[in-house]
Amino acid sequence: MSDYLSTLLGWLIFAIHTSLVIGVTFRVVMKRRPVGVSLAWLALIYAIPILGVATYILLGEVRLGRKRGDRAKAMYRPYADWINVLVARFPGQKFDVSEPARPIYELVKARLNMPMLSGNGMTLLQQPDDILTALQDDIRAARSSCYLEFYIWYAGGRADDIAFELMAAARRGVDCRVLLDSVGSADFFRSHWPSRLRDAGVKVIEVLPVGAFRILFERQDLRMHRKLVVIDDDVAYTGSMNLVDPTCFKQHAGVGQWVDIMLRIRGPIVPIFWSLFVWDWEMETGERLLEQLEYHPISCLDNQLKLQLLPSGPFMGGDAIQQSLLTAIYQARRRLVLITPYFVPDDPLVAALCSAADRGVEVQLVLPAKNDSRMVNYACNAFFDELLQAGVEIHLYGAGLLHTKCVLVDHQFALVGTVNLDKRSLWLNFEMTLLIDDGQAMGELLQLADGYLSDARPVSWLVWRKRPLRQRVLENLFYLLSPLL
């Protein structure tokens, strides 16, 4: 009898396992996504069936959670209408978008309803002390609101000064709100700081929280990767730097201090930044702040700096950020500079870079010589052969972990923000990018890029081809997994 039960149990387990594999295979086939991603999932499912099926169930599809997803869908029309009404109130917005930037502008306007606005002022901040000092000064001067959103807040050093300024601002009646990613800021949420901030009146929200129970309802690796500050609806910040003091952050990772930039912005674009923060706040909490802004636009800035905000995420504009990036590369005529800490591109991006180099564009890819993810580093290196052979220059920055993220096209326009050149940033993370359509600002950004290049060493294709076999094997292994990283 026991043999019969054992046989029956074995057949039952086999039937359940087979049904799961077939069912998940059907899900993979029916989801329209890049072929390489689908094939990578199928390979994993059939090579390691139990682990592959479990991994797909956990990470294979974008699931924000029912409440959060429903809110995101219901919020789109009210926010789009609000932005249209706001922009109609701005004076002096008769201007021409430059021809090189126009295709991206039109794409973002159509997909995301985001306007381009002129009359802005922008300061490029390159040093951590300058960034933290400016932020601290603006919070200290705040009269009505301080809204901050970061992937990482890491306690220690001058980052604590920001916390003290926020608490002081909240005590004098300023509306202070903070959105922090659950995974990126995990150490911060385990510290005493959240309770101290809340006790002082600062509203602190953990975005996209993770947990064993949530696995059943939400994909756990979707991340809020934005870096966004709006103060008094008057000053905004974005860029690549998290709320950390680089002299304290990841000092034992062996990569040196992180190298970042932030943009301090004033002008008509600031309320658009504000709307992105309150969008994220409502999506996470359900609390609507949209109608609270009483902004009376004035022409206080004489310059004509044109800016357009490009927010992106799993349910925001689909592939708008990827298409904008590809469009920028194809618009290049003379020089194209791409700076990113993590480079795990998809096939269209590799093809675009090779095409630019083939048509005579000077394509310079600037990456950190070391980064904090060994898997990503191997996957990144797997693309070097093809790019170097096509004539793409690859430069490895050695004066720290270069964390700046920007794409500079000729002397015409730039994309600057939080987006890495990898599939996670393009498809899974909530990100933000700023389209900068201004020759004067481009001069400053190109000077920044040249400074990075002076601290980087070029990769020679002839030397690169002589790397050890073990390294090539690891690169090719992680190349196969690159659609899933």
Does residue 466 carry a catalytic annotation?
A: no
Are 423 and 485 contacting, i.e. CB atoms less than 8 angstroms apart?
Answer: yes
Q: Which entry of 138, 181, 225, 306 is annotated as an active-site residue?
A: 225
Q: Which entry of 395, 403, 422, 438 is annotated as an active-site residue?
A: 403
Does residue 225 carry a catalytic annotation?
A: yes
CB atoms < 10 A from the CB of 311, how many?
Answer: 24
What one-character DSSP code corresponds to residue 426?
A: I
Q: Is 89 helix (H, G, I), strand (E, B) or coil?
A: coil
- Measured between alpha carbons, how far is 440 from 124 in angstroms, rounded to an integer? 12
Q: Which entry of 138, 227, 245, 306 is annotated as an active-site residue?
A: 227
Does residue 319 carry a catalytic annotation?
A: no
Q: Which entry of 138, 181, 245, 410 is annotated as an active-site residue?
A: 410
- CA distances (Å), 420 to each of 105, 368, 432, in order? 20, 13, 11
Q: Which entry of 138, 181, 232, 346 is annotated as an active-site residue?
A: 232
To which residue do tokens 């430069």 refer? 395
- Measured between alpha carbons, how far is 398 from 401 in angstroms, rounded to an integer? 8
Instruction: For 199-215, give the DSSP string.
Output: HTT-EEEEES---TGGG
Does residue 109 carry a catalytic annotation?
A: no
Q: Which entry of 395, 405, 423, 437 is annotated as an active-site residue?
A: 405
- Measured between alpha carbons, how far is 145 from 176 in angstroms, rounded to an integer? 6
- Measured between alpha carbons, how far is 301 from 207 in angstroms, rounded to an integer? 35
What one-character DSSP code corresponds to residue 143?
A: S
Does residue 411 carry a catalytic annotation?
A: no
- Please choose, from the candidates 333, 377, 375, 376, the residue with its C-alpha nearest in 3D space to the C-alpha of residue 356: 333
Does residue 410 carry a catalytic annotation?
A: yes
Q: Cα torsion at 351, 353, 357, 361 (round to 10°)? A: 140
- CA distances (Å), 437 to each of 95, 131, 330, 443, 446, in order? 12, 23, 16, 12, 14
Are 123 and 130 contacting, i.e. CB atoms less than 8 angstroms apart?
Answer: no
Taking every pair of Cα atoms in the chain, the longest distance, rounded to a whole number of angstroms, is: 90
Which of the residues are catalytic?
225, 227, 232, 403, 405, 410
